[in-house]
Amino acid sequence: MSTTAEKPAAPDSEPGAAGRITVKGQPGTGRRTGKAGRVRRLTRRDKFILAIMVGVPTLIQLLLVWLPTLFSIALSFTRWNGLDLKDIKAAGTDNYRYVVQDYPPFWPAIQHNVLWLVFLALIATPLGLLLAVLLDQKIRGSKIYQSIFFTPVMLSLALIGIIWQLFYNRDSGLLNYLLGTAGTPQAVDWFGDSNVNIWAAMVAATWRHAGYVMILYLAGLKGVDPSLREAASIDGANAAQTFFRIVFPAMRPVNIVIVVITIIESLRAFDIVYVINRGTNGLELISALVIQNLIGEGQVIGVGSSLAVILLVVSLIPIVFYLIRTFGKESKA
């Protein structure tokens, strides 16, 4: 474990050259080698400075990220209106039972989150990959196309909600004019109609997600060894075979990142539905339900927290998967 950090620090070191790694890592490794009796490498002052360098960010992280996470878990087993700390009452698993059995928007929200994930995974992500593959060829104007597809990635999902609101609006939006239904009774209120608004929102989210995926895959494609493609074409593989059998598997690290990003984005989808209608009327998502229970009148912190914990538990699946892929490899190395 202790040598793991040094390993990549010595790109030129052969695997297993443990001795060299130790030497290479020497300047900073006083602590570790300290066990071997070389404590003097780090003076007391250095240790103090290091303790601050590690301590302050760690404290911030613990205090503002991990402690609140634990508090959320604790609060999910209580009943509280959010006013006086003395009013916090133990409630066992009541909140969870209520959410699952009696809270009407819960199951629609779960469905919407799953739908959101499926939509991003089956439409937005492949679209981004497709754009990357097309733009990776030496075609004219590739940079211009890239810039255009990438622009929405710079925008917040909240702003994207507003911009698409202007586009989708029933009476003044462009879409209904293009469809020829503007001003007629058939005109659809794309963000207002609970039958279609989740789809409309997912299309708007795709506008951003596809560009994001494109840029990551463009970087990934550049990293693929060209000799792999040459070898495949010499062996008579066509473009599709080369891509799916050679290039795509070679981009494994990028693929993992994109799987994780896609899952996490679908769990974090909040801003856009909150901007549209605060996540109600067809746009329920777990993240929005959490906030609805925390903000406004009749705060039900316990219910909001139990929803937050459900969101947390689901989020931990991709997070742990990603961490194992990223750090598991490193500590084994």
Partner 1 sequence: MSTLANPIPRATAAAGATRNSGKRHYGTHIFLTVMAIMWLIPLGWSLFTALRPKADTDKFGYFSLGGTFNFDNFIQAWTQGGFSKYLLNSVIITVPSVLLTLFFASMMAFAVSRVSWKFNVTLLIMFTAGNLLPPQVLAAPLFEMFKHVTLPYSFSDSGNLLNTYISVIAVDTAFQIGFCTFVLSNYMKALSSDLTEAALVDGAGIWRQYWNIILPLCRPALAALGTLEVIFIYNDFFWPLLFIQSGNRLPITTAINNLQGEFLSNYNLLAAGATITVIPTLIIYLVLQRQFVAGLTLGSSKG
| C-beta neighbour count of 120 within 10 angstroms | 25
CB nearer partner 1, residue 100 or residue 255:
255
187 close to 176: Cβ distance less than 8 angstroms: yes
Q: Compute the least distance from the CB of residue 59 to partner 1, in Å.
A: 10
Q: Compute the least distance from the CB of residue 92 to partner 1, in Å.
A: 18
* Alpha-carbon distances of 321 from 61, 99, 156, 173, rounded to whole Å: 21, 27, 27, 42
CB nearer partner 1, residue 97 or residue 166:
166
Tell the residue number behind the tokens 């130790």, with chain if given.
22
Q: Compute the least distance from the CB of residue 194 to partner 1, in Å.
A: 16
> What's the angle, vertex CA 64, arms to CA 60 and CA 68, rounded to 5?
145
* Alpha-carbon distances of 94 from 80, 86, 89, 102, 305, rounded to whole Å: 12, 19, 12, 11, 12
Q: Compute the least distance from the CB of residue 72 to partner 1, in Å.
A: 6
Residue 220, amino acid: G
Q: Compute the least distance from the CB of residue 97 to partner 1, in Å.
A: 19
* Alpha-carbon distances of 27 from 43, 259, 331, rounded to whole Å: 12, 38, 21
CB nearer partner 1, residue 111 or residue 147:
147
φ and ψ at residue 11, rounded to 5 degrees: -60, -25
CB nearer partner 1, residue 100 or residue 123:
123
Q: Compute the least distance from the CB of residue 213 to partner 1, in Å.
A: 10
CA 102, 104, 105, 108 dihedral sign is positive
Q: Compute the least distance from the CB of residue 19 to partner 1, in Å.
A: 14
Q: Compute the least distance from the CB of residue 248 to partner 1, in Å.
A: 13
Tell the residue number behind the tokens 């939006």, with chain if given.
173
| Residue 158 burial (C-beta neighbours within 10 Å; 0-12, 13-18, 19+) | middle
DSSP letter for 169, please: -
CB nearer partner 1, residue 77 or residue 270:
270
Both tokens assigned to 277: 């209608």
| Beta strands in 63-156, from DSSP E residues, in sequence order | 78-79, 89-90
CB nearer partner 1, residue 49 or residue 111:
49
CB nearer partner 1, residue 8 or residue 249:
8
CB nearer partner 1, residue 66 or residue 107:
66
